[in-house]
Amino acid sequence: MTVIAIDGPAGAGKSTVAKQVALATGLPYLDTGAMYRCVAHAVMSSGVNTVDAEAVGEIARSARIVVESDRSELNGVDVSQVIRTPEVSSVVSIIAAHSPVRDAMRLQQRRWIDIHGGGVVEGRDIGTVVFPRADLKIFLTASPEVRAERRVSQTGGDVAQIAANIAERDRIDSTREDSPLRPADDAIHVDSSRRTIDEVVNEIVHHFRNVKGHQDNG
């Protein structure tokens, strides 16, 4: 079972890059961020207080989440578009910081990989917590300005406001007690700031082939 873990902060290009790496390697792709966004949407729809860890955790445990490629389903409903709204983006890091939520999502992520026999998995704690024995660990970064510009090009909005939202998500993600955002000790750092998607993807695929070559010859 082969796993490529791609971690990094919001707006670094993880989803776009991970999809292309999956295509290049023939592995399935899992967007773990979509899972947390599904939970955030469910919490917002329920009216539960986002800081109530136990109540939010119960929603996470009971939610039927299906994430395949670009499609996300929550309790049988396609929520692929609604989970990408600024409203969901503004609370997803708060939701994801709760340990009961992370426990529930890790179980689903590991089950997904077992079912699919491996994959390219992107998120914030994949290489450090979810799959610490991944074949390849990438920590993908980009400058704050570039990340804000990318988000605006995807979803619209004001660059300054989006930059402020990203900075706040970085703060929450990197300071939470449960699996804070940080590179794994053996992760390869890749900065995508002023590089094309193809350049970044080619570098990651190159690292992967090197790793697989060593494994095959080992």
Q: Please tell me the predicted confidence (pLDDT) of residue 218.
A: 60
Q: Same domain for 90 and 182?
A: no
User: Where among 75, 91, 116 does a domain terminate?
Assistant: 116
Q: Same domain for 107 and 52?
A: yes
Helices (H), 99-158: 99-116, 144-155
pLDDT at 154 over 80: no
β partners of residue 30: 121
Question: Domain of 185?
Answer: 1-28+119-218
Q: Could you give the CA distance from residue 162 to residue 95 in angstroms, rounded to a whole number?
A: 19
Segment among 127-131, 158-162, 205-209 with least mean pLDDT: 158-162
User: Where among 65, 97, 116 does a domain terminate?
Assistant: 116
Sign of the torsion formed by the C-alpha atoms of 211, 215, 216 and 218: positive
pLDDT at 214 over 70: no
The Cα angle at residue 9 between residues 197 and 214, in degrees rounded to 5: 60
With contact defined as beta carbons under 8 Å apart, do 48 and 56 qualify? yes
Per-residue pLDDT tens over the stretch 81-119: 999 998 998 899 999 999 999 999 999 999 999 999 999
Tokens of 190: 């890749």
β partners of residue 2: 118
Q: Same domain for 1 and 85?
A: no
Q: Same domain for 124 and 106?
A: no
- Total domain count, the chain: 2
For the domain that residue 214 is a member of, what is the CATH number? 3.40.50.300
Among 74, 73, 40, 33, CA closest to 57: 40
Tokens of 17: 């890059």
Q: Could you give the CA distance from residue 195 to residue 188 in angstroms, rounded to a whole number?
A: 16
Q: Could you give the CA distance from residue 14 to residue 19 in angstroms, rounded to a whole number?
A: 8
Q: Same domain for 127 and 155?
A: yes
Q: Which residues contact 2 (CB under 8 A, 6 or more apart)?
A: 25, 27, 118, 119, 135, 212
Q: Which residues contact 210 (CB under 8 A, 6 or more apart)?
A: none
Tokens of 138: 């990438």
Helices (H), the chain: 14-25, 32-46, 53-62, 86-96, 99-116, 144-155, 159-175, 197-217
Q: Same domain for 136 and 147?
A: yes
Sequence length of the chain is 218
Q: Same domain for 63 and 140?
A: no
Radius of gyration of the chain (CA): 17
Per-residue pLDDT tens over the stretch 164-173: 888 888 998 8
User: Where among 100, 116, 132 does a domain terminate?
Assistant: 116
pLDDT confidence band for 46 (50 / 70 / 90): very high
Q: Same domain for 123 and 90?
A: no
Q: Same domain for 149 and 71?
A: no
Q: Same domain for 155 and 87?
A: no
Residue 210: CB atoms within 10 A of its CB come to 11
Q: Same domain for 102 and 124?
A: no
Structure letter (DSSP) for residue 187: P
Q: Could you give the CA distance from residue 9 to residue 22 in angstroms, rounded to a whole number?
A: 20
Q: Same domain for 129 and 168?
A: yes
Q: What is the pTM of this model?
A: 0.89
